[in-house]
Amino acid sequence: MDRAFLRVATIAIATIVLAAVLGERVGAGEGEEGQDPSAGIERYRQMLEEANPAELDEMRGEQIWTSPAGPLHATLERCDLGLGPGVLKGAYAQLPRLFADTGRVQDLESRLITCMTTLQGLSEATIVAKPFSTAEMQSDIEAVVAYVTAQSRGVVMHVPLGEPQERLAYALGERLFFYRAGPYDFSCASCHSQDARRIRLQDLPNLTTKVGAQQAYTSWPAYRVSQGLFRSFQWRLNDCFRQQRFPEPVYASDATIALTLFIAANANGAIYSGPGIKR
Ligand code: HEC
């Protein structure tokens, strides 16, 4: 189906559903059920999930995965995401993790960079030049993220912490999460360490609790209805760094990997349910 049409149609449907859900709320009397806007928004999200345009990105990602590319004319089908070459089922639910061949703790994106450079001979600079899609340009790595994460849907999160380097990354991620700096002296925790907080109509998940980390992490990456674009977890982090008035982090850097590992490991035990759909 035509992508632009689908984007417009999804936004239109989303708006109608949101209006219906919120209208229902306004109609509800004092003390009745439906007073909590979060419940309405949650229903809205569930209704949208049944027709998530992220599926188009998953399909595009599969095509990229199986098409020869780069100077070596190779596909990504032998890429090892931690469970062996070519094993995709459940791989994302165990990332980030330590990889013996690189000696690094890697998240999905940094590992895809490893596969694209070693298997296909692409330069890292080419890959990271377009990490995030815009209205005019579709990012290849983001589509591959959609395809790979979808292969872990329904799988229990099990990020390993057995290796000292993994535990070190967890500790670094935790420090970064609570690290206060910038013009407002904000840390991630400034916005994400209390229950039932909201900025306007957006829930602020308490990421310091297990259930908060589980709900947040397992629903990313996600299709963003308001932007009409599929968004990776890296994008989510970058946007929060921006809200924190911090400089934009380097793509697939050890800092973002550590922060991702901290949240992902805290989500262990939950069923991964991405790619999700967000407002
Ligand atoms: C100034 C407040 C603020 C700060 C500081 C902040 N965030 Fe956020 N964060 C938000 C808001 C608002 C949202 C929801 C955005 C939306 O719905 O569009 C969000 C969403 C998220 C989500 C997705 C939650 C979900 O369920 O979809 C994650 C994960 C997250 N933030 C992590 C972080 C991390 C890690 C940091 C520190 C680097 C951080 N945030 C710093 C405001 C903040």
Compute CA 184 distance to the chain's CA centroid, rounded to the nearest angstrom. Answer: 26
Specify whether the CB–CB gap between 246 and 181 falls below 8 A. Answer: yes
Beta strands 222-224 and 229-231, pairing class: antiparallel
Cross-strand pairs, 199:
202
pLDDT in tens, 82-98: 999 999 999 999 999 99
Segments of the chain scoring below 70 in pLDDT: 1-37, 41, 45, 48-49, 198-202
pLDDT in tens, 8-40: 555 555 555 555 544 444 434 333 444 566 777
pLDDT at 107: 98
Q: Identify the H or E element spanning 277.
A: strand 276-278
Q: Closest ligand 1 atom, CA of 188?
A: 37
Q: Is 240 one of the catalytic residues?
A: yes
For residue 93, how far is its CA from the centre of ligand 1 (angstroms)?
Answer: 21
pLDDT at 7: 60
pLDDT at 188: 95
pTM for the model: 0.86
Q: What is the DSSP secondary structure assignment for residue 232, as one 8-state letter?
A: -
Ligand 1 pocket, mutate which of 170, 179, 184, 192 (most atoms under 8 A from CB)? 192
Beta strands 222-224 and 202-204, pairing class: unpaired
CA distance 267 to 216: 8
Confirm or reject: Cβ of 266 under 6 Å from ligand 1: no
What residue type is assigned to position 272 of the chain? Y
pLDDT at 31: 39
Ligand 1 pocket, mutate which of 243, 256, 261, 273 (most atoms under 8 A from CB)? 243
DSSP alpha helix (H) spans, 103-225: 108-118, 124-128, 140-150, 164-178, 188-192, 210-217
Q: Which of 38, 53, 45, 54 is nearest to 17 (CA)?
A: 45
Nearest CA to ligand 1 atom 5: 244
pLDDT in tens, 225-235: 889 999 999 99
pLDDT at 27: 39
Confirm or reject: Cβ of 256 under 6 Å from ligand 1: no
Nearest CA to ligand 1 atom 19: 204
